[in-house]
Structure 1
């Protein structure tokens, strides 16, 4: 599973690109006596090791003493970071601003106050041009320090202007902090609980969503205030399954970056996340044409150098692009064709193991399981569901719930009636801990209990009764989550019509596509 324990230095070295490794060797040669031979030897030794093994490291490199290894590794770690910082300082606005602030502090420490203020003016303008409010605050702090200790006579009314600018910046930072906190808390609620299940959940979410700052005039907000406000609206709408509101704010989120394209490079991860959410909104609303357009847009964006040269962005793009590719097969009812993606996904999951969180991996497992189920292979579906069910993590309890429901249905398809008796009790106990089972979940459980006791010629009326019940429930917002991860309605229709489930979903897709083209 991802996030395995490993040696931090070994992990850092193996995250380096070829150019970064070459630059490190040049850096260490220039800046250390005799090239700091032991540091270079340790670097090379760790670079050759696929897995960190300290005993093997010491055995193959007798020049390293065990009692010295810890200090040597710490020194190498710092040297690598210093070399990478030099290589990337022109590619990252944070590094550029930090460098200029360091220059201003050096000039100040040397008593060159006017020169320091000139550098600070440039830093401030660069920070304003790139919406970097925290750096504006740091600049103002040093400017006020210089003005309060020395008579610079650099500007009339400088004290009053600095104080006003400082107050405005502090207010902006306070608002950004509050909005980002709200966004984070809403997202954290979703990761733990999934979609809202009842009015009690909606009241818990309202504690965050009803904050007055969220509902102020957005025209008065800056880039980051808008970004975090849009995120709050997106999370709230998604959790409460208000998909039109979710779509509207996903559009606002991505359009915010298109209005300021330079921010795509500065806040790349936020833009990619916004594109992922927009794809999700198209999927939920079955906007087939716009979904495909957004996939192409994301694929084109992935080719940008600042995306390709950042492992975080690369992994993020892989996660969201392949989530979208799987969703496309779910929409189109092309499950069997979608199976071709699985080897590539599994290879990437292994390659990016150290960078992916468990939540993302669980979602892939569930989608792969659904792909196998839709293609008519419930046994393989069960294999992937077991990866979710047997993993003891406190994440996405709704995903755990639907993994167990699909697990039951897959065993039902295989005719494992004896095992179903045990599973039903186990799953009901698990879901009972969740509290407040939805009406749809209760109806599915009731059906499964009845049906595996029934003779084959008696099951069709049970299928028809459950189908009618669930179709009525599908209009209720608090019940729609039951159909987001598990298309029970299409499965029931497939049983009644005695057709493969993917042919049912495929026909729905083709009919909807025809209606759109005729409109």
Structure 2
């Protein structure tokens, strides 16, 4: 729950109550827990008068939370506002107040049209039918019936196209994630009609972007993502889940810009990404600040890596370090490792080896599975930083342990990762700072610039210095 939802739940739980109800006391304990732990909750409840009924209170808390969230979003969500008016119109019809019901129904229908929330059409048509049936006893409703029939036919046509498009979207994702051996041909999706909703158009652009990505037409995927983003932006607050979807598409668009080396557009987008947590539409997204922080630094630092601009990347390391400290509890393990590795990489190539070790030591101390590339290359970068700081005696023993760990991880001896361990060993024996020996020059010739080690460590920059004896 976000802060607004928590405030609403506090108000909801205390309506007509002089004291906090038992379920709210349990909620207060759970809210203050850093991580869910049944044992900690049980220990915290032992002195409460309802301890013997904790299972009942927990179920009550669950139901009250759902009720509070329902009422909170009933006032915030456009679709819920429409459903509320439709239900009120039904209640007025049931009380034989057709004129008042028709006014509310007209308002609901206008909202359906304005906000393009067509999934509410069937209920609106049903209530309109109830009004017409009631009017059959009075006067001649032929015109009204004809109008309702035409509207109903049009609405059904719109709904059918909307639902077909949604099915095609699900099918496209099924093909993308799981494959479809029975249908190897590329699916072609017909252009939707002019009556399709904005969200329907966005779904179509999403399918086209996914198809272009599958066919490795990255420029086309970028174009479709851009169109989809503009469509989503026009209805951020009108449809459920749009802010979450917008954020996801926006992130994909920034990745497209990185891959296509559209750096100016990328930097503009990163500025916008960092501003999203301050916008009302996005505040309710869970961990939005953490996502904006993680994604923006990952993308910007990777853009500087592609351009070999280590100075610009180095200038971001202090805010990066502060952000990691601030969001450490919320950061997932892979995201934390990625940011720490990037920080260490830029500090290393800029020549600040002490700062590089500040970033890399926590990853090294975790002793993660070296089969995972990010941890393996952070490990290697950690060794390089120690070499540059002159910790050669310590490094000599560590290299033996590293080779053993690499064998246990199943990394082949001829792999470039083992090549770097061997190279470090020779550099230490040759007394660092002197010109390269024939043996060193020989091992340098074995370096494969296309190997994954270059992608993760950008060693060519470092090796050039070694060749010059720096």
- TM-score normalised according to structure 2 size: 0.71
Partner residue, 1:323: 298
Counterpart Cα distance in 2 of 1:27 and 1:96: 20
Q: Following TM superposition, by how much is the alpha carbon of 1:179 offset from its aligned partner in structure 2, in angstroms?
A: 0.8
Deviations 1:289-317 (A, max 9, x none): 22222222233443222323554544443
Matches within 5 A, 1:18-57: 20-30=5-15, 32=16, 37-44=21-28, 53-57=40-44
Q: Is the 8 A contact 2:341 2:374 kept in 1?
A: no
Determine the C-alpha separation between the residues in 1 that align with 2:375 and 2:262: 26
Question: Rg larger in 1 or in 2?
Answer: 2
Does the residue aligned with 2:440 lie in a helix, a strand or coil? helix
1:103 corresponds in structure 2 to 88
Give the superposed CA RMSD: 4.5
The question of 1:362 aligning with 2:337 is answered: no
* 2:183 is aligned with 1:211: no
Q: 1:218 to 1:313 in 2, by over 3 A?
A: farther
Change (3 A) 1:126 1:181: farther
Give the CA deviation at 1:89.
Answer: 3.3
Shift of 1:365: 1.3
Counterparts of 1:188-267 in structure 2, within 5 Å, are 210-213=186-189, 216-217=190-191, 222-235=197-210, 242-258=217-233, 267=242
2:376 to 395, 399, 404: 404
Alignment of 1:73-472 (within 5 A): 73-107=58-92, 119-140=104-125, 142-143=126-127, 146=130, 153=141, 154-156=144-146, 158-159=148-149, 161-183=151-173, 186=176, 210-213=186-189, 216-217=190-191, 222-235=197-210, 242-258=217-233, 267-308=242-283, 310-327=285-302, 330=305, 331=307, 332-334=309-311, 335-352=313-330, 358=332, 361-376=333-348, 377=353, 380-381=359-360, 383-384=362-363, 389-390=368-369, 400-405=372-377, 407-408=379-380, 410-411=382-383, 414=387, 416-428=398-410, 444=416, 447-448=419-420, 451=423, 457=437, 458-464=439-445, 466-467=447-448, 470=450
CA distance in 1, matches of 2:224, 2:252: 10
> 1:394 maps to which residue?
none
Other structure's SS at 2:363 match: helix
How much has 1:333 moved relative to structure 2?
Answer: 1.3
TM-score (norm 1): 0.66
The size of the alignment, in residue pairs, is 431
Q: Tell me how far apart the structure 2 counterparts of residues 208 and 232 of structure 1 sit (CA, whole Å).
A: 17
- Structure 2: runs of 5+ lacking an equivalent: 388-394, 431-436
The CA distance in 1 between the partners of 2:414 and 2:181, in whole Å, is 24
CA distance in 1, matches of 2:114, 2:453: 46
Q: 1:496 to 1:259 in 2, by over 3 A?
A: farther
> Structure 1 pair 263/148, CA: closer, same or farther in 2 (3 Å)?
closer
Contact 1:104–1:119 (8 Å) recurs in 2: yes
Residues 42, 55 of structure 1: alpha-carbon distance in 2 compared, 3 angstrom cutoff = closer
The structure with the largest helix share of the pair is 1
Give 5+ residue unaligned stretches, structure 1. Answer: 1-14, 190-202, 392-396, 433-440, 474-480, 500-519
Q: Which has the higher contact order (CA 8 A, sep 6+)?
A: 1
